[in-house]
Amino acid sequence: MQPALLKLKGRILYSQSREIVHNVLMFMEEEARNGICSIPVENAQFRTTCATGVLERSIRKIKNEAKDTTKESGLLFSTPNKQPKRKIMFQH
């Protein structure tokens, strides 16, 4: 599996993504300081919740969305409630 960092190379990380990266970094640094994993590695979804600050239900939804994508299209996630851009018709 290719590291996520390489998959995001050249892409802009906006504030929400940066906040999640910071949360994960703080979680990992805290575990490194303590020398132990505070949450068992077998409980991956809960660890992800603690590391990212994202609700466990949202993580399950993201996991299921990733399963539903085909290998041909790659791993693309939708943006909830995003409306397609409409052409604006001007009247003269």
Give the pLDDT score at 70: 58
Give the pLDDT score at 7: 73
Its pTM surpasses 0.75: no
CA distance 2 to 54: 23
Is 13 within 8 Å of 21 (Cβ atoms)? yes
Instruction: Kindly report, residue by residue over 1-20, the tens digit of the pLDDT.
Output: 455 556 777 888 889 889 99
Question: In this predicted model, which residue has the larger pLDDT, 86 or 23?
Answer: 23
76 has pLDDT over 90: no
For the chain, percent of residues with pLDDT exceeding 90: 32
82 has pLDDT over 80: no
